Structure 1
């Protein structure tokens, strides 16, 4: 019997359907020839056949082993009821003989129905059979037996949209040496898992309708009412009786989603109608279900109350009225359900009717399916075909990916691209070069290979992360976590999008470096990334971060979260803050979206998308980012925040630089050995601006007799001709340039502009006003001071200032801290009734020959004054910094002692800061050049706006 199908191959015929109904439909002929054609080219690839419910899939399924001349066939069906139907039909070739595909005299195949889980007792029966028909649970055990599975050379799966489920998937994997054909009306699932295989034939629902296979359908709506079940029941009876009166042989299905509700409906219909109904659900025996079906077909009952039964594969075209008490929640199940009622292969049947409440219970594919104004015929066809077409496009998209490495494992054997749905998140770089065939960084620990789509400029990689368990202090044990990486280059905008579950700047930059080369990629400016909010309306801003353009010690970054945080922004906020990050909901061209961006050149959304959808999302936002003509208007108070502009050239009125906040919190240590180890931090270094050019800033860093020059270009990238000084940043040893590229300096101008990396934050230059009343005149001659001598000897400015401060009895503590990395040259603490007033004095000697004549005399000391605000952030910060300075013998108490200082500041009184510049070259009585006024005015404005110093003063001459 092993050659049964080959022997009867010549007996098969392909008659076209005649007016009497005999013969094959166009869909069946197309499908069977597609199957035969496919397997002449591909022996080990699963074929998917898409045919609408009622178009004759079962006949094509039964013809397949003949045209493929198979030896033994395993048919997997979704239910016991369908299994029984196919056993009977296949064993008698009833449908195929009726269609005259075979003559009635044709020898029939030997069919074995596997009703129980496979064991050895069934082996001989299977050996003798041509066809074995089983449900998934029984077929799974069969497929796990190596001896039994080798008997089969063809597997046919009925209703294959179940195949991604664990049981079905394992059967197909176990039987991977056999040809596989998957039959379905809906090649997609609610869980978005892939039906693996190639769609070789897809017969659209619109053609099934045109060819008379998919019949007329009609929605019978009921107005929304609390008595939903009673109204549906009485309406169902009216429709049933009306159809009967017209001579139509129609029967009824009452559909719900739970056994409990089915029992309640049984009583409700008995009380309110005269319909003869029987209940069917999974708790009933197969014998009971068969008896009810026979009673239904015999007209002994009017209908059935059903909980997900008599669905897939069940063929009873007279089932024409559906009373829907609980609707399906997925498109696939809905289409399968509707297909049961739209069959046309019977006499005395008319339009299928669906009775449901016109409420908002169900929305499928963004369509309110049970809607009174819905043109069901068109809507169901469009929804089905659009979804099927998108599935076909998805498979073609993934087909374009090629594995580009020498990994022994095949990516798609381990992981289906179809099942990868990343959350929308991307780091974006502007690039000047992109090489698709580059090697992916080893840092990501690739496990399954690199997949490349040349047409889309997209790379997909899965890597590993090794993390010690939280309960382990050692590094001998590691948990392995798989991480997804997606790289996409949008050629039209020269933007590179990187998705990485490891949100590390090092990872992002290593990937960009691998595909673009060193120094060929740059972050997108905030002014450009802000464009992602363009072309949207009806904004609701859920989360917003705002950068304080002035505060170093107080509130440097404000984060607000809520239903619409834009209402908390006012004009005063706009004068102080720039947008840092934002996340919002807004109305797009077609639907609502969520979108967010950050100053770190990242965009994100709350959506989870397939890979092609993710690429489209990147391209959509990339096009907006690169469009200079986009104007963003949220029509909320968020528009009050001035968006930073991209730095085109450096202004020539920069008067100070400063470290970033992270540097102050965790300053890196210089790799310069000192007694007792590495002691000097970056905060101890002297960093000076040498030259400001429109294209770059030149700086020099000095530490312990070592120097190194740095260049910062308008992209905010630091470089050096020769790296001589290195830092320990955590566990890594990095150059100064590498560190500053991750932790950039900020620069301030005298007209209230803040520059960070390649972004220009403009303030309010009109608010910068120089007030000469801020200058306090000191009679330096009285103290015998050489105003050119800053700190050496008794005639120095330091000596005079010490005398002045000590003579002031209101100071409880006076601290001298003059050396690299200082808090200030002098620190005084005055204990007030309700506060502690801490004054920081910064001293600079006079280098010019005339008063108010040298800008350089002012620049350095003004910069020091502004930078020291960080130490006034709170009492803890000041206490810790002084402790560090004392530990390295770099500060001493001139008045009071350290213990008393600590005890005093730990009292429950707030700290009030004062900043004093001590510069004898500044005169209150001599006219002052505008340039010096700008610097002093800017310092005053910034210090007073910082929130951590209440007073700014200049001690001059």
Structure 2
């Protein structure tokens, strides 16, 4: 099979960018700034762009090559999860890819050729046909024969886009940039600081502050909540006969802060306070009358520690997903689909769901471990920053809440995070560095947090009345509306308590929620389930496919649609499995929905059908667009 490659694709294309109302302001502003920079007499071919998590970094990757790149683009990511996310967002085979979804282009035929480089599994012929090559940094290690730097010429790429650029001073990244010595380099990051205080090489061309992103509702507003016990006392060296306050431990120089914070982290009593308070926050979000599937994301010190945290949540009736590096790929895939399709309410992770993980319904961040510096702390907070764009979302749905124990000593990181992320000139031009590895979400930091296997941590106990300290990152409109609702709810509670003597605040709140909920909801979930199953089959077989066949005058018994672009790439096998046009279309839609949900139709639950219905509307439009283009070309050839 011959692959079509247009070396001049990015310069000759006519994308809708600068006047596109579907794009976010920072995406357009960053595009213009980068374009102006590379059209100037720049002294540093490495440009740097800082965009907060959730503002549209991956979309910007899809924009910057146009009218700037005179050849191929290489996109480098630090982790597999980020690589997969980038490919999913930009995959031309997906109907909801960034270019089509945002109206950059109207048809699939206008999109670039994109491939994932998989080392020796990617033939040079395929590599040569790509306009965009996406890979994980590990595929660039020069010691590997299959590394790109050992396979292609120095001028193979005209542009390199580096995601999560705070990793870019490590040796492999530097070697890659040095090898492709004439390529324009765009470094993107959401956290413009490093754990070692060394700065990223590159000319800062654009920075969009987190504060501005919050005011424009591009990301969630943030609240930091600390559980503060009246007093915490710890044992030392397994001696239960005596306990010490934290002040006594420090004043008598018995142990250091590192020991205290790890003792608190591994204390089940302390962890349970965080579990209970995170559940209260989640319940409030879920009971506010909206239908948003909010979730808690927690971070633990180790796999064993994470398993203990999971058990605490499960004992309170919550379904939990545990994600860590030692899961085999099949189990990991299943867990990720469970999260994506709302089959769990709590996600506990160990060094896995860091930068680049995108799930907007993570709304409560429960911290069960100490952090040593602001980078991994900021990256974890970033997991709850992505805004929920659902039209059913209420103001309080887009407030992310962080809950932790006071004696994990995270206050300084919270304060530093607020200051650092708003600094307008935090990054300056500096030289590249030698080998430098970020291990904050990997073995280095975990070992430090876990401590020695033989070390005896203290048993922590709470005494007296505890309290919560709540602080908003910014006093945004969402925060103000949420406070107004709290005041209204309190007034309603007092009114109901005066009418119904003896009821508690919780009972009054339940009455308010029930009055606000849709009373017309069906009470027969068994009927809802069976009806939805029949309805989705009927939509595809009895409505969508017949309508498309009729409108575009397609012979349903023929097989001419095997040439349709839908049956190239991932779904190539369908045209070999069925030989009739109508069956091909129906099978494609079913296969797409199965992949989107992540399991066979027979295993779908009620919520899975809801997701499938929401996807089906856009899928129908995408199939129709492909049919329209196919029939138009067919008509041209017949004239």
TM range (shorter): 0.5 to 0.7
2:229 is aligned with 1:228: no
Deviation at 1:128, TM superposition (A): 1.6
Gaps of 5+ in 2: 233-266, 436-639
Q: Are the counterparts in 1 of residues 171 and 434 from structure 2 also a CA contact under 8 Å? A: no
1:352 pairs with one of 393, 400, 411? 400
- What is the CA–CA distance in structure 1 between the aligned matches of 2:183 and 2:43, rounded to whole Å? 8
Deviation at 1:175, TM superposition (A): 2.3
- What is the CA–CA distance in structure 2 between the aligned matches of 1:235 and 1:414, rounded to whole Å? 43
Q: 1 or 2, which has the higher strand percentage?
A: 1
SS state of the match for residue 228, structure 1? Answer: helix
2:315 is aligned with 1:315: no
Corresponding pairs, count:
379
Deviation at 1:148, TM superposition (A): 4.8
Q: Deviations over 1:108-148 (max 9, x none)?
A: 22221123xx3496322211211111111013343431635
Q: Give the equivalent residue in structure 1 for 2:245.
A: none
Deviation at 1:413, TM superposition (A): 7.4
SS state of the match for residue 220, structure 1? Answer: strand
Gaps of 5+ in 1: 18-22, 399-411, 417-957
> Pairwise mapping of residues 34-113 of structure 1 onto structure 2 (< 5 A)?
34-41=33-40, 42=42, 45-92=45-92, 94-113=97-116
2:283 pairs with one of 241, 256, 265? 241
1:163 pairs with one of 165, 168, 184? 168
> Pairwise mapping of residues 546-585 of structure 1 onto structure 2 (< 5 A)?
none
- What is the CA–CA distance in structure 2 between the aligned matches of 1:380 and 1:167, rounded to whole Å? 28
Q: Give the equivalent residue in structure 2 for 1:204.
A: 209
Deviation at 1:162, TM superposition (A): 0.9
Q: Give the equivalent residue in structure 2 for 1:124.
A: 125
SS state of the match for residue 347, structure 2? Answer: strand
Query: TM-score, normalization: structure 1?
Result: 0.38
- What is the CA–CA distance in structure 2 between the aligned matches of 1:44 and 1:123, rounded to whole Å? 31
Q: 1:37 to 1:300 in 2, by over 3 A?
A: same
Q: 1:147 to 1:113 in 2, by over 3 A?
A: closer
Q: Are the counterparts in 2 of residues 321 and 353 from structure 1 also a CA contact under 8 Å? A: yes
Deviation at 1:305, TM superposition (A): 0.9
1:267 pairs with one of 296, 311, 326? 311
Q: 1:70 to 1:303 in 2, by over 3 A?
A: farther
Deviation at 1:15, TM superposition (A): 3.4
Deviation at 1:351, TM superposition (A): 1.2
> Pairwise mapping of residues 652-671 of structure 1 onto structure 2 (< 5 A)?
none
SS state of the match for residue 106, structure 2? Answer: coil
SS state of the match for residue 205, structure 2? Answer: strand
Deviation at 1:330, TM superposition (A): 2.0
Deviation at 1:75, TM superposition (A): 0.8
- What is the CA–CA distance in structure 2 between the aligned matches of 1:197 and 1:334, rounded to whole Å? 24
- What is the CA–CA distance in structure 1 between the aligned matches of 2:343 and 2:215, rounded to whole Å? 34
Q: Are the counterparts in 2 of residues 74 and 154 from structure 1 also a CA contact under 8 Å? A: yes
Q: Are the counterparts in 2 of residues 72 and 152 from structure 1 also a CA contact under 8 Å? A: yes
1:5 pairs with one of 9, 13, 16? 9
SS state of the match for residue 85, structure 1? Answer: helix
Q: Deviations over 1:227-246 (max 9, x none)?
A: 21111122222222221111
SS state of the match for residue 138, structure 1? Answer: helix
Q: Are the counterparts in 1 of residues 169 and 432 from structure 2 also a CA contact under 8 Å? A: no
Q: 1:218 to 1:151 in 2, by over 3 A?
A: same
Deviation at 1:189, TM superposition (A): 0.5
Q: Are the counterparts in 1 of residues 100 and 108 from structure 2 also a CA contact under 8 Å? A: no
Q: Give the equivalent residue in structure 2 for 1:277.
A: 320
Q: Give the equivalent residue in structure 2 for 1:14.
A: 18
Q: Give the equivalent residue in structure 2 for 1:191.
A: 196
Q: Deviations over 1:287-324 (max 9, x none)?
A: 43333222222211112111122222222111111111
Deviation at 1:360, TM superposition (A): 5.0
Q: 1:179 to 1:25 in 2, by over 3 A?
A: same
> Pairwise mapping of residues 538-549 of structure 1 onto structure 2 (< 5 A)?
none
> Pairwise mapping of residues 315-714 of structure 1 onto structure 2 (< 5 A)?
315-347=358-390, 348=393, 349-362=397-410, 367=412, 369=414, 380-386=417-423, 389-392=425-428, 395=429
Q: 1:107 to 1:189 in 2, by over 3 A?
A: same
1:145 pairs with one of 140, 145, 150? 150
Q: Are the counterparts in 1 of residues 52 and 189 from structure 2 also a CA contact under 8 Å? A: yes
SS state of the match for residue 110, structure 2? Answer: coil
Q: Are the counterparts in 2 of residues 140 and 167 from structure 1 also a CA contact under 8 Å? A: yes
Q: Deviations over 1:504-550 (max 9, x none)?
A: xxxxxxxxxxxxxxxxxxxxxxxxxxxxxxxxxxxxxxxxxxxxxxx
Q: Are the counterparts in 1 of residues 57 and 188 from structure 2 also a CA contact under 8 Å? A: yes
- What is the CA–CA distance in structure 1 between the aligned matches of 2:328 and 2:385, rounded to whole Å? 28
Q: Are the counterparts in 2 of residues 335 and 380 from structure 1 also a CA contact under 8 Å? A: yes
Q: Deviations over 1:646-666 (max 9, x none)?
A: xxxxxxxxxxxxxxxxxxxxx
Q: Are the counterparts in 1 of residues 169 and 433 from structure 2 also a CA contact under 8 Å? A: no
Q: Are the counterparts in 2 of residues 78 and 312 from structure 1 also a CA contact under 8 Å? A: no
- What is the CA–CA distance in structure 1 between the aligned matches of 2:191 and 2:128, rounded to whole Å? 34
Q: Are the counterparts in 1 of residues 11 and 68 from structure 2 also a CA contact under 8 Å? A: no
Deviation at 1:219, TM superposition (A): 1.9
Q: Are the counterparts in 2 of residues 205 and 381 from structure 1 also a CA contact under 8 Å? A: no
Deviation at 1:28, TM superposition (A): 0.7
Q: Are the counterparts in 1 of residues 225 and 402 from structure 2 also a CA contact under 8 Å? A: yes
Q: Deviations over 1:139-176 (max 9, x none)?
A: 33434316355321111111111111232222222223
> Pairwise mapping of residues 789-800 of structure 1 onto structure 2 (< 5 A)?
none
- What is the CA–CA distance in structure 2 between the aligned matches of 1:121 and 1:232, rounded to whole Å? 47
SS state of the match for residue 269, structure 1? Answer: helix
- What is the CA–CA distance in structure 2 between the aligned matches of 1:334 and 1:325, rounded to whole Å? 12
Deviation at 1:383, TM superposition (A): 3.0
- What is the CA–CA distance in structure 1 between the aligned matches of 2:341 and 2:192, rounded to whole Å? 34
Q: Are the counterparts in 2 of residues 81 and 290 from structure 1 also a CA contact under 8 Å? A: no
Q: 1:126 to 1:385 in 2, by over 3 A?
A: same
Q: Are the counterparts in 1 of residues 298 and 367 from structure 2 also a CA contact under 8 Å? A: yes
- What is the CA–CA distance in structure 2 between the aligned matches of 1:76 and 1:306, rounded to whole Å? 24
SS state of the match for residue 316, structure 1? Answer: coil
- What is the CA–CA distance in structure 2 between the aligned matches of 1:351 and 1:164, rounded to whole Å? 34
Deviation at 1:250, TM superposition (A): 0.8
- What is the CA–CA distance in structure 2 between the aligned matches of 1:267 and 1:199, rounded to whole Å? 46
Q: Deviations over 1:94-113 (max 9, x none)?
A: 12322222224552222211
Deviation at 1:63, TM superposition (A): 0.9
Q: Give the equivalent residue in structure 1 for 2:301.
A: 257
Q: 1:368 to 1:55 in 2, by over 3 A?
A: closer
Q: Give the equivalent residue in structure 1 for 2:30.
A: 31
Query: TM-score, normalization: structure 2?
Result: 0.55
Q: Are the counterparts in 1 of residues 200 and 427 from structure 2 also a CA contact under 8 Å? A: no
Q: Give the equivalent residue in structure 1 for 2:117.
A: 114
Q: 1 or 2, which has the higher helix percentage?
A: 2
Q: Are the counterparts in 2 of residues 240 and 251 from structure 1 also a CA contact under 8 Å? A: yes
